[in-house]
Structure 1
Amino acid sequence: MKTNLQVKNIRQIIPIIFIIVLFSISIMAIVSELKKDSIESVWLYLQNIPRGHKINALAMTILGYGLMTGYDWLGFAHIRQKLSAWKIGFTAFISYAVGNTVGFSVFSGTAIRYHYYGLWGVSNIKIAELVVFTHLTFWLGLLSIGGTVSLIDPLTLPSVLKLPFDSIHPIGYIFLSLVIIYFILSVTLKHPIPFKDEEITFPKPIISIGTIIVAGLDWGLAAGVLYSLLPINHSMSYIGFFGIYIIALTAGLISNVPGGLGVFETVILYLRPESISSSDTLGGLIAYRIIYFFIPLIVALALIGIQALKNKNS
């Protein structure tokens, strides 16, 4: 019994150790890149980002988080559950704003959905279906958009990575092959697939296509936020940069580091055009974190507080 408990504790600790090690390696990589410049140059670039670029980034952030609520709206159509658009938008925004910044969105975003949707009369079973839907379609969108961009403008990978291929072209084929397999399964499998304590029911193809469109617009805007904060307008096309962004986003998600912090930045630094200094890149990344992550988080926390007061007084 004691041995089983020790094994269980070790299994719980290993992922945490992995995240800490990965985060530490990312920070060391960032520090190594910054040896070429200085912290002062990072701060100088951050201060000198044109006001118009910051306003554009903020506007795209607002539009992007509005689009993210589309995942939950499509999810409610999938589970055939009715709830007011305001309540869906409110809950979805808070879950994404908190999950994107804090990380572990599987737990943080899920807990928020269970709390608010449950408060508004949605059963736990329906919420579970919705959660499975949002996670499944998130990866469907990532594979679809990432695969398409990889084929349109395949990014050349730096030789320092020592990968068996020179560009992300093969990754694009792999991603799109998985998407095709998904659609084949969604058409042929009519019964739910048991998965741990839940069941996966494939959404109708029209709903899946809708999530891909939402994902494309969502990540297109997210990449646009960072693109507008970096001095790469003349050194790399937006589509070319979008490929870098998708790779960095995927690495951050796989790492499980909260918000992909450090991992996302490391990938951007290594894949950036040589014409951009590491200090300018890091300055843009800091501005991106503030505008795209921390401002929505502050708004979400304020909304949580306001809603808590309303519930208390009602």
Structure 2
Amino acid sequence: MKKQNILKGAVAIAALVIIYFEGRKKLKNYDINQVMHLLSNLNRSRVITLFVLGLIAVSTMTFYDYFLIKHLRYKLSFYKIWKVSWVSNTFNNFLGFAGMTGATIRTLLYKKNNISTGDAVYASVILAPSTVIGISAASWLILFNVLKGRPILNQYKVLWFGVVGFAIYLPIYILMYRWKWLNKKVMARISKDDRDPKTLREKLIASSLLEWICIGLLFWFICLTFTKEIKLLESLGIVSISAIAGIMSFIPGGMGSFDLICILGLRLMGATSERAMAILVVFRVFYYIIPWFIGIILGISEIITNKH
């Protein structure tokens, strides 16, 4: 099984490396001065709006932890829950490592807030498979051409495997809890828990869908800032396929693979190279970098508070 996983990972990485070198040739002709000009022309009100929308998009992930804490019957203030969620999720977004970063930080912060080790680990175990439901649902919409991603998939056919794989994940996730033998085999900890997690799972699924909708709307608003060529369903398709490419690469934060597919997708949908680059930079700044810096500050304050 381990050899198969290694082989699958190697194939995915090799495919994305090929896409990278092919795509890089197409991106050599953009004018960095024009990109900087586009970025410098952002007015203050638009920057503030993007900042607020970025905070909202990241804050939706708080619902994961809120519903988990309520399910585990712990009494933590909403601010504490938001703080734990923000730190763990922004570090996970920025550093990645297949979700291990967020799970580790979440477990440590839960323990510091007097949540037992067993419950902290349980929370991470039940949360991990729920967070990609949003992108799995988006994959189905891409397959049925509701979200417009066909130009990208037709250009880089290896990405079809990623989209189909994530689409298949959704029914597997549902069946994992409906079939008792699969539930016991895969999620033995849950099957022994006397607190029926069915309602919790439904809330986590709703949280994942809300999270991905907010990410998509943030990305679309950024697209509108620089070009009128990209429609809503096209922007949602681009960011979904880019995220899938980033996850397939196993690179922290999808760095490189997400960026490349995002830029190529924007170009295929009508944006110039310079505007596509500007859209990517702004999305990285307001969804990844700024929230991560806030997460660092909150994490340090949490450590100092616990020491006192």
Structure 2: runs of 5 or more not aligned: none
Asked if the contact 1:74–1:207 (Cα under 8 Å) also holds between the matched residues in 2, the reply is yes
Kindly indicate whether residue 98 of structure 2 is the aligned counterpart of residue 124 of structure 1. Answer: no
Structure-1 residue corresponding to 2:296: 301
Structure 1: runs of 5 or more not aligned: 1-7
1:222-279 C-alpha deviation (Å, 9 max, x unpaired): 2222322235653232122101111111111121111101111111122224421112
Structure-2 residue corresponding to 1:157: 151
Specify the code of the residue in structure 2 equivalent to 1:40.
Answer: N
Identity of aligned residues (%): 21
Asked if the contact 1:149–1:239 (Cα under 8 Å) also holds between the matched residues in 2, the reply is no
Kindly indicate whether residue 252 of structure 2 is the aligned counterpart of residue 258 of structure 1. Answer: yes
Structure-1 residue corresponding to 2:92: 99
Question: Using the alignment, how far apart are the partners of 2:159 and 2:288 within structure 1?
Answer: 34
Structure-1 residue corresponding to 2:209: 216
The residue correspondences of 1:1-314 to structure 2 (distance < 5 A) are 28=21, 31-104=24-97, 106-148=99-141, 150-151=143-144, 152-158=146-152, 159-162=154-157, 171=163, 178-189=169-180, 192-195=183-186, 199=189, 201=191, 204-231=197-224, 234-272=228-266, 273-312=268-307, 314=308
Question: Using the alignment, how far apart are the partners of 1:42 and 1:269 within structure 2?
Answer: 13
> How far 1:56 sits from its partner (Å)?
2.4
Asked if the contact 2:65–2:81 (Cα under 8 Å) also holds between the matched residues in 1, the reply is yes
Question: Using the alignment, how far apart are the partners of 2:297 and 2:8 within structure 1?
Answer: 32
Asked if the contact 1:54–1:229 (Cα under 8 Å) also holds between the matched residues in 2, the reply is no
Asked if the contact 1:194–1:200 (Cα under 8 Å) also holds between the matched residues in 2, the reply is no
TM-score using structure 2 length: 0.81
1:117-168 C-alpha deviation (Å, 9 max, x unpaired): 1112212211111111111101233212432454323432344324698xx9
Aligned pair in 2 of structure 1 residues 110, 15: CA closer, same or farther (>3 Å)? farther
1:196-233 C-alpha deviation (Å, 9 max, x unpaired): 9x745597443333223222221222222232223565
Question: CA RMSD of the aligned region, Å?
Answer: 3.7
Partner-residue secondary structure (3-state), 2:150: coil
Partner-residue secondary structure (3-state), 1:131: helix
Asked if the contact 1:248–1:268 (Cα under 8 Å) also holds between the matched residues in 2, the reply is yes
Partner-residue secondary structure (3-state), 1:193: helix
Question: Using the alignment, how far apart are the partners of 1:175 and 1:103 within structure 2?
Answer: 18
Specify the code of the residue in structure 2 equivalent to 1:296.
Answer: P
Count of residues in correspondence between the two structures: 299
> How far 1:95 sits from its partner (Å)?
0.4
TM-score using structure 1 length: 0.79
Aligned pair in 2 of structure 1 residues 28, 188: CA closer, same or farther (>3 Å)? closer
Aligned pair in 2 of structure 1 residues 216, 41: CA closer, same or farther (>3 Å)? same
